[in-house]
């Protein structure tokens, strides 16, 4: 069975793609395509069309969810156009749609070749960007981005630009394997960018 959306901790999560320009050492995609605790199998046999995803989402009772989250078993912003189309459709059709969040690696402007942040305005309430490291070297060792340290710069620039268009810009790190010095450096980065740092607990597979 193909899972386009699934419930987790009171939120509805949407999975539109398996594609990603990173190869994070902790990525669930390494785990035999199994989606771990989140769903039975999040590996998409094919990418759902926007219409297919809309039909899946319209079958849900949104009054049950505190948030709608685009994340996935890949990088959701590979499908920025479809994602924003879905948000527009849902806002039109679903009264009291819960706040919308994107969980992203922050590389969209790099891999799409344009600045997409203005398009998030009025559509996305929270953008959560994986910071994953306190230096470009540390970041690249963990996430192994296709474009190397360019991806680190692109991610920080993306976060800075999002501030103008998205009410809540959050950057996340996982506490495991981070020294107090690394956490302090991450805090300094997010303070300089004017965004919120969220330190997440590590969730084992
Ligand atoms: S950015 Fe996300 S989907 Fe991409 S490799 Fe890293 S953990 Fe996996």
User: Quick one: pLDDT at residue 73?
Assistant: 85
Q: Which CATH number fits domain 5-200: 3.90.180.10, 3.90.79.10, 3.40.30.10, 3.20.20.70?
A: 3.20.20.70
User: Quick one: pLDDT at residue 2?
Assistant: 78
Pairing between β-strand 5-8 and β-strand 11-14 as defined by DSSP bridges: antiparallel
Strands, E assignment, 71-123: 100-104
Residues whose beta carbon lies within 6 Å of some atom of ligand 1:
20, 22-24, 27, 29, 74-75, 105, 143
- Closest ligand 1 atom to residue 26 Cα is 7
Instruction: Give the closest residue to 97 by CA, choosing from 56, 53, 57, 52.
Output: 57
| pTM of the shown model | 0.93
- pLDDT bucket at 205, cuts 50 / 70 / 90: very low
- Closest ligand 1 atom to residue 143 Cα is 6
Helix, strand, or coil here: 151?
helix
Strands, E assignment, the chain: 5-8, 11-14, 67-70, 100-104, 126-130, 168-174, 196-200
Among the residue ranges 1-5, 72-76, 138-142, 156-160, the one predicted with the least confidence is 1-5
Domain regions of the chain by residue span: 5-200
Q: What is the mean pLDDT of residues 169-188?
A: 92
Instruction: Give the closest residue to 118 by CA, choosing from 155, 92, 80.
Output: 80
In this structure, what token pair is assigned to residue 28? 């669930």
User: Quick one: pLDDT at residue 29?
Assistant: 75
Q: What's the CA-to-centroid distance between 106 and ligand 1, angstroms?
A: 11
Instruction: Quickly tell me which residue has 């450096």 as its tokens.
Output: 185
Neighbours of 36 (CB within 10 A): 12
User: Quick one: pLDDT at residue 34?
Assistant: 52
User: Quick one: pLDDT at residue 109?
Assistant: 98
User: Quick one: pLDDT at residue 204?
Assistant: 58
User: Residues 6 or more apart from 172 whose CB is under 8 A from it?
Assistant: 128, 129, 130, 131, 197, 198, 199, 200
pLDDT > 50? residue 22: yes
pLDDT in tens, 93-115: 999 999 999 999 999 999 999 99
Identify which has the larger pLDDT, 147 or 28: 147
- pLDDT bucket at 33, cuts 50 / 70 / 90: low
User: Quick one: pLDDT at residue 203?
Assistant: 66
- Mean pLDDT, the chain, whole residue set: 92
């Amino acid at each position: 069975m193909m899972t386009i959306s699934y419930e987790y901790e009171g939120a509805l999560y949407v999975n539109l793609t398996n594609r990603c320009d990173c190869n994070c050492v902790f990525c669930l995609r390494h785990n035999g395509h199994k989606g771990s605790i989140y769903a039975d199998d999040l590996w998409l046999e094919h990418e759902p069309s926007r219409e297919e995803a809309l039909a899946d989402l319209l079958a849900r009772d949104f009054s049950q969810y505190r948030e709608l989250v685009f994340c996935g078993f890949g990088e959701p912003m590979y499908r920025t156009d479809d994602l924003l189309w879905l948000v527009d459709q849902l806002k039109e059709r679903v009264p009291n749609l819960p706040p919308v969040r994107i969980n992203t690696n922050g590389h969209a402007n790099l891999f799409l070749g344009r600045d997409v942040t203005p398009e998030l305005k009025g559509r996305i309430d929270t953008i959560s960007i994986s910071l994953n490291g306190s230096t470009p070297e540390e970041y690249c060792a963990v996430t192994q981005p296709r474009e190397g340290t360019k991806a680190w710069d692109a991610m920080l620039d993306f976060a800075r630009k999002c501030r103008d268009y998205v009410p809540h810009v959050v950057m996340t790190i996982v506490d495991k394997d981070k020294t107090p010095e690394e956490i302090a450096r991450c805090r300094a980065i997010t303070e300089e960018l004017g965004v919120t740092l969220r330190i997440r607990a590590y969730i084992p597979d």
